[in-house]
Amino acid sequence: MTSQPAAVSAFLEGRRLAVTGVARDGKLPANAIFRRLKQCGYEVLPVNPNATQVEGAACYPDVRSLPGEIHGVVIASPAASAVEIVRQCGERGIRQLWFHRSLGEGSVSPEAVRACESLGIAPIVGGCPLMFCGGVDVFHRCLRWWLQRSGRVPR
């Protein structure tokens, strides 16, 4: 059994999370992350500037408009929007960020990672909660193994 990276454990300790990039049609990786976190018992808030409801849940246009305390944000939006999401997290005092990325660049942008550094945020860069949360399926276990060995997911 593989031990969980410290950054992943710290992120998953929070019980109230947000996921950016969810879609109304439910077909994006962000939606799979949203659903899995809910299945694992987290309170999860979807973020999409073009939707008021996603998968039966109230959806928020940005991180600024999320109600109450948020323990962490999974950024699964296009990389071009990541730096603004990081800034909004900084304004809200959210220090647990996870940039979704599997085989491509995903939501990671060098500018967003630099913005995290300037705000004192140590983000998780790469992978996603599906690789660590609850009963991980065979596909995500294999993907985690391969991406960890290539340095694209925390070890």
Q: What pLDDT was estimated at residue 2?
A: 53
95 pLDDT higher than 90: yes
55: pLDDT confidence band, cut at 50, 70 and 90?
very high
For the domain that residue 118 is a member of, what is the CATH number?
3.40.50.720
The reply to whether 62 falls in a domain is yes
Per-chain mean pLDDT for the chain: 92
The reply to whether 155 falls in a domain is no
Which range marks the domain in which residue 16 is found? 6-149
The reply to whether 24 falls in a domain is yes
The reply to whether 122 falls in a domain is yes
Q: Using an 8 Å Cβ cutoff, are 107 and 100 in contact?
A: yes
The reply to whether 154 falls in a domain is no
The angle subtended at Cα 140 by Cα 124 and Cα 150, nearest 5°, is 55
Residue % of the chain over a pLDDT of 90: 75
With CA atoms as reference, report the closest residue to 76 among 44, 114, 52: 44
pLDDT tens track for 107-126: 999 999 999 999 999 899 99
The reply to whether 51 falls in a domain is yes
Domain count of the chain?
1
Mean pLDDT of 89-105: 91
The reply to whether 1 falls in a domain is no
1 pLDDT higher than 70: no
102 pLDDT higher than 80: no
**124 DSSP β-pair partners:** 98
The reply to whether 144 falls in a domain is yes
